[in-house]
Structure 1
């Protein structure tokens, strides 16, 4: 399914469509934008024709210095059947040869008042957010002290109930049941709720509640970077759980590895408090304070001292 078309870019930034109306439904498959400087000089060996093309003051001043027949040839090669559009910055005048090439190939010519660099960055950021790899995870996403915590586990383990307790303690709900995740950078995952269930929380025996209506606008958040994954699982007496916190597990989501903590669930354990402390401890670790490592180092020192005394 096509995620974004040239028409979407035009509407998003209120660009002026100079010509090429029949091509505004062309798909845009990459967030990269090309500034065809070498192409204007005649080198089309590696021309990325599938990208949006951006002509700034430099490219236009160069091409306008060429002979009309050369300009015609270069613009005809610039406008291909798969080129989603040609953007003109600074509301510059569009060369007549480019308009003629656009009419022949139905490539939209878009004009903007933005400066070239600003136009490139704004359109690139917009396309990256739409074209980023996405997935959906069954779980709950909560903002705890500024840390985006994704709580996962089997159905019925208590994820939504824990999220409700966290919201009551002043934290913010992002998504319940289904978390839509997009990868905006190599290690940056942004989670959000599907529009249909936004701000809603399902509690077994109680039904669906609207968190924003009950707790106010300060209790919800539309999206959040995922920094920590907490897996809730039923207590297994045969399994050995980490008691010091020295082990660092990771969970791979799309192409990013996110720190993971497994918390066993049994009656009497206050999961909300445990997860809250886990988020605070995660923040401390990012600041360079690791209680588990400090304890391990102190223990090692004590053992070495006793061995030295025995000698």
Structure 2
């Protein structure tokens, strides 16, 4: 299970901490979902997930205002006894001194934002889903080619970094070299990034470490990129039959998500950068509904049908 510091959420969402006396350094979030404690304010605590961020919006606050003061404080006290990570008041709702005092005594941070409840919930869920997403690290190079995330894989020393460097010179952007950290942010989306320590660096055998950002400028690097296509480099094998049409897609699986994969045999004289560019453009064409391999297959089929018809006549 992955966690994220509450202080990071406060900084990212620009939240106001109305309980500054509480030490929040030890508080961590482990659930990407949030909770609006409407039923809990009514006294129903069965199946209450206390690990979630608790959000008080206009409806919850209006309900609390109709309660007797002591009863409202008592319900909040019971909610805080579950050791929720924090309570966020939206729409700049004024938090009473009694609630602040109670929260300080129980060590539950009270936060506030001017954002509307729905907008804040959507943004928090999106951000937490990314921060708490399942992740793995793999050996490879990730490059943004024409907006498509191309993950170049292969054995060590086969030429992944050299291909990436040529792509950078051709105007594309490096995300990560040697190691790529992959997060599964949804059932269809994988996000790749570089470890902090190696970000923007490339290792070239015989030369050493190259700082891409310094040599080629900030437009040559990128911090994160979705992984759309995998290009697997492998040594040329005369005994193996390689796909020459591309009618049947091959896939590689990461964290349960399938990504289109092309196996590219390496021989002297092959320009890997152009191959990667062509693969990225071809993949984009397929997403837009045009498949060159299928178009060629249709032409051949139609031509054979015409010849057969002429022979029959």
Cα deviation for residue 38 of structure 1 reads: 1.9
| Partners of 1:27 and 1:188 in 2: CA distance | 25
Q: Note the aligned Cα RMSD (angstroms).
A: 2.0
Distance (whole Å) between structure 1 residues aligned to residue 25 and residue 10 of structure 2: 9
Match of 1:200 in 2: 201
- Assess if the C-alpha contact under 8 Å between 1:24 and 1:84 holds in 2: no
For residue 96 of structure 1, report the CA deviation from its aligned partner: 5.5
Match of 2:11 in 1: 11
Which of 109-118 and 253-262 deviates more? 109-118
Does 261-270 or 64-73 show the bigger shift? 64-73
* Distance in structure 1 (CA, Å) of the matches to 2:222 and 2:23: 40
Question: Which residue of the partner structure matches residue 71 of structure 1?
Answer: 72
Whole-Å Cα distance in 1 between the matches of residues 302 and 121 of structure 2? 57
Corresponding residue for residue 268 of structure 2? 267
Task: Give 1:152 shift.
Answer: 0.3
* Aligned partners of 2:2 and 2:132 also within 8 Å: no
Confirm or deny that 1:215 pairs with 2:211.
Answer: no
Q: CA deviation at 1:120?
A: 2.0
Q: TM-score under structure 2 normalisation?
A: 0.92
- Secondary structure in structure 1 of the residue aligned to 2:308: helix
Distance 1:275 1:9 in 2: 38
Structure 1 position 288, deviation (Å): 1.2
Query: In the alignment, is the contact (CA less than 8 A) between 2:230 and 2:259 conserved in 1?
Result: yes
Once the 2 structures are TM-superposed, how far is the Cα of residue 275 of structure 1 from its aligned partner? 1.3
1:205-227 CA-partner distances (Å, limit 9, x unpaired): 11111112222222222221111
For residues 90-149 of structure 1, the C-alpha deviation after alignment (integer angstroms, 9 at most, x for no partner) is: 222224564454245322111222222232233333322211122111111111111110
Gaps of 5+ in 2: none
Partner Cα separation in structure 1 for residue 5 and residue 107 of structure 2: 14
**Match of 2:28?**
27
Write the distance in 1 (CA, Å) between the matches of 2:16 and 2:145. Answer: 43
Aligned twin of 2:293: 292
Q: Unpaired segments of 5 or more residues in structure 1?
A: none
Matching residue of 2:246: 245
The answer to whether the 8 Å contact 2:54/2:87 transfers is yes
Whole-angstrom distance in 2 between the partners of 1:301 and 1:196: 56
Worse overlay, 267-276 or 103-112: 103-112
Query: Runs of at least 4 residues of structure 1 off by over 4 A?
Result: none
CA–CA distance in structure 2, aligned partners of residues 15 and 282 of structure 1: 41
Which residue of the partner structure matches residue 80 of structure 1?
A: 81
Using the alignment, how far apart are the partners of 2:188 and 2:171 within structure 1?
A: 28
